[in-house]
Amino acid sequence: MIRIDGNIAKLREAVRCLRKGSGSIGLVPTMGYLHEGHLSLVRKSISENGSTVVTIFVNPLQFGPNEDYEAYPRDLEKDCLLLEKEGVDIVFCPKPEDLYYPDHSTYVVEERVSRDLCGASRPGHFRGVCTIVLKLFLLIGPDRAYFGEKDFQQLQVIRRMVRDLNVPVEIRGCPIVREKDGLALSSRNVYLSPSERLSAVALSRSLKAAKELYDSGEKNAGKIIGCVQEELLSDPALRVEYIELRDAEELSVLETVDKPAVLALAVRVGKTRLIDNVKLGEVEA
Amino acid sequence: MIRIDGNIAKLREAVRCLRKGSGSIGLVPTMGYLHEGHLSLVRKSISENGSTVVTIFVNPLQFGPNEDYEAYPRDLEKDCLLLEKEGVDIVFCPKPEDLYYPDHSTYVVEERVSRDLCGASRPGHFRGVCTIVLKLFLLIGPDRAYFGEKDFQQLQVIRRMVRDLNVPVEIRGCPIVREKDGLALSSRNVYLSPSERLSAVALSRSLKAAKELYDSGEKNAGKIIGCVQEELLSDPALRVEYIELRDAEELSVLETVDKPAVLALAVRVGKTRLIDNVKLGEVEA
């Protein structure tokens, strides 16, 4: 495995060599502090491509001024060991100054799919995500790129960006990986105290209950959301930011679940903001 | 010459064949109604690359609601004849619906170099320019792309976008081509009545006078601008939109011309908006 710490010319040269050698290139962009969710993306990429590039970059542009950019957990050495073991070809771990000039002034904005849900509570977040993801696409030129469905809105915003800007890459969404008790894996789970960790199970439990309600025939969005609400409001340690039932593609509001949909939520557990979601009906992955 | 009227899969395939065949690819993006200015870009591209792709697309996204999108002159058949004669390999002439979905929602915005000058009087213009130019880069994947220096701000906005987003393309600026009397070639010159055409000469004449003042040792921006103003205000057929002396790279305000600079103006001659500029000192082309 080649590790490139920020030199862009070296990265381009290493990717050029990969492309000559072994067919298609898969990209897995991450913010590091890797868990089994990330590794499932890496394995998928390795199984579908001749080579796999992983990027590890905590992107300051997608954090708001009062968010956890500084505190975001990092363990670059451990991450690199994990990726080497998986058989990754290149890991690119730049610093902010490797990717942003002091007078950086160009951004990619998506104005529809990114507007609500996390976009509403994190202004500028998806602008930061789109900008860095496009930069990585342009630096590496992958044939396929892999994103987890836990960040479902992010996945759909990136799909939209790729469609609208004619980016020559195939976006692959991969299923959420969960702990045994249902909690979706997230680098931010490390922030949780033991009692918060117990409370956090309610997110996936409530989504599972709502999915069962849907599967049993309930198609009314209000009732399905109500089922989640009931579960979450019963624990005072949880502060709901949103619970939304949306069309699965452009995330527009649904009154009745008459097409592929996603039930998504963001909840604060203490100071930690967690997101989770479940798909209702068939959704392109 | 292969002409592709809007089929994106065909374009990608034709470009793939070009790349296999003959080394580097040059791109000349245009809005058509070609004149010697465009053809100078085409010739430059042909001289520097194995293959040359020209695009002809009047991009609705860069026109404001009260601008001349509908009236913008078009002559696709004549343009294609001219390009064939020059030895262009591919001409791509899509319609808006080939490049924009009805629910297009992703844009590229540059927030510094694009802010003043034409950006101030044409809100959304450079957002439209950046978005279409990036789309064309991603559709064609050129090694070099050619832009005229008449649209000097556009050229510098595109350079900035390419730098900030790590677009793997070399931007080449090419000198303004002028009529014998000095008027900068522009597809919009066709709008001018005979008397307006006479008045329009003042743009280049005033810039020439200012350049001579600068070359004779005057470095005070106010005095150089004043020289242009004096010339333009004497003709009531001319309405000055701006006359600005700016740093040549990021177009920031200059009081004293102590580094490469550009003296740029936008003037209405009747209903026709014309722009022109001259470089003061050494400027990267």
Mean pLDDT across the stretch B44-53?
A: 98
As a whole number of angstroms, the distance between CA A49 and CA A25 comes to 6
- What is the number of helices (H) and of strands (E) in chain B? 9, 10
Tell me the residue type at B273: R
Predicted local confidence at residue A127, as pLDDT: 98
- Is B33 strand, coil or helix? coil
Predicted local confidence at residue A60, as pLDDT: 98
As a whole number of angstroms, the distance between CA B24 and CA B96 comes to 28
Using a cut of 0.95, tell me whether the model's pTM lies above it: yes
> What would the pLDDT profile of B177-210 be if each residue is shown by its tens digit?
999 999 999 999 999 999 999 999 999 999 999 9
**By the 8 A CB rule, do A247 and A221 touch?**
no
> What would the pLDDT profile of A234-283 be if each residue is shown by its tens digit?
999 999 999 999 999 999 999 999 999 999 999 999 999 999 999 998 75
Instruction: Measure CA of the first residue to CA of the last residue in chain B; give whole Å.
Output: 29
As a whole number of angstroms, the distance between CA B99 and CA A166 comes to 9
Contacts of B9 (CB under 8 A, 6+ apart): none
Predicted local confidence at residue A284, as pLDDT: 52
pLDDT at B35 over 70: yes
Please state, in angstroms and as integers, the Cα–Cα distance from residue B285 to each residue in B103, B130, B173, following that order.
37, 19, 5
Confidence class for position B284, pLDDT limits 50, 70, 90 = low
Domains contained in chain A, CATH given: 2-174 (3.40.50.620), 187-278 (3.30.1300.10)
Q: Check if the interface score ipTM surpasses 0.95.
A: yes
Please name every residue paired with A28 in a beta bridge, in sequence order, or none if there are none.
A54
**By the 8 A CB rule, do B208 and B263 touch?**
no
Q: How far is A8 from chain B (nearest CA, A)?
A: 9
Q: How far is B93 from chain A (nearest CA, A)?
A: 16
Predicted local confidence at residue B52, as pLDDT: 98
Predicted local confidence at residue A282, as pLDDT: 72
> What would the pLDDT profile of B94-116 be if each residue is shown by its tens digit?
999 999 999 999 999 999 999 99
Are the Cβ atoms of A167 and B138 closer than 8 angstroms? yes
Which residue ranges of chain A lie beneath pLDDT 50?
A: 285
Are the Cβ atoms of A160 and B106 closer than 8 angstroms? yes
Mean pLDDT, chain B, rounded, equals 96
Predicted local confidence at residue A103, as pLDDT: 98
Tokens of B82: 């001219």
DSSP A211: H
Mean pLDDT across the stretch B34-61?
A: 98
Mean pLDDT across the stretch B234-258?
A: 96
Predicted local confidence at residue B206, as pLDDT: 97
As a whole number of angstroms, the distance between CA B168 and CA B122 comes to 28
Mean pLDDT across the stretch B80-103?
A: 98
Are the Cβ atoms of B134 and A160 closer than 8 angstroms? no
Predicted local confidence at residue A283, as pLDDT: 57
Contacts of B152 (CB under 8 A, 6+ apart): B262, B264, B277
Instruction: Measure CB to CB from residue A109 to each of B8, B12, B107 and give the nearest one.
Output: B107
Instruction: Measure CB to CB from residue B161 to each of A106, A163, A168 and give the nearest one.
Output: A106
Confidence class for position B283, pLDDT limits 50, 70, 90 = low
Q: Which residues of A are catalytic?
A: 38
pLDDT at B275 over 90: yes
Q: Which residues of B touch A139 (CB under 8 A)?
A: 166
Mean pLDDT, chain A, rounded, equals 96
**Choice between B118 and A283, residue whose per-residue pLDDT is larger:** B118
Tell me the residue type at A249: E
Confidence class for position B282, pLDDT limits 50, 70, 90 = confident
Predicted local confidence at residue B21, as pLDDT: 80
As a whole number of angstroms, the distance between CA A84 and CA A87 comes to 5
Predicted local confidence at residue B180, as pLDDT: 98
